[in-house]
Amino acid sequence: MPPKKQLEPNAEYTTVGLTPEHHEAVHEIAKARKGKNPRTSLSSILVDALWDLLRKETGKTRAEIRAQVPEHLRTPEPTIPAPSNVATMPKKKSVRR
């Protein structure tokens, strides 16, 4: 089961059958992604591969595919939090007494 933080809010669980060779291939991709790409879960790897295959086969971008999905079924776009105006205060130096 992938970590909760990597699942989209409206993701549904499904079953995917993998042979031992396919499972090993996904494991090798996860090992290659370590450090470079935080998306190393089985779900993330399969979703990334699905989007890449869809782009190659149909020639459509992800935005074009999203436009075809009804509004109420779309995954919300990730929002980037606004930078905070809070400054880090320097630590006081300890005084020996």
Distance between CA atoms of residues 83 and 75, nearest Å: 24
CB atoms within 10 A of CB 37: 13
Q: What is the pLDDT of residue 44?
A: 85
Q: What is the pLDDT of residue 21?
A: 94
pLDDT digits (tens, 9 = 90+) for 8-53: 777 788 888 989 999 999 999 988 888 888 888 888 888 888 889 9
CB atoms within 10 A of CB 44: 19
Tokens 């790897």 belong to 45
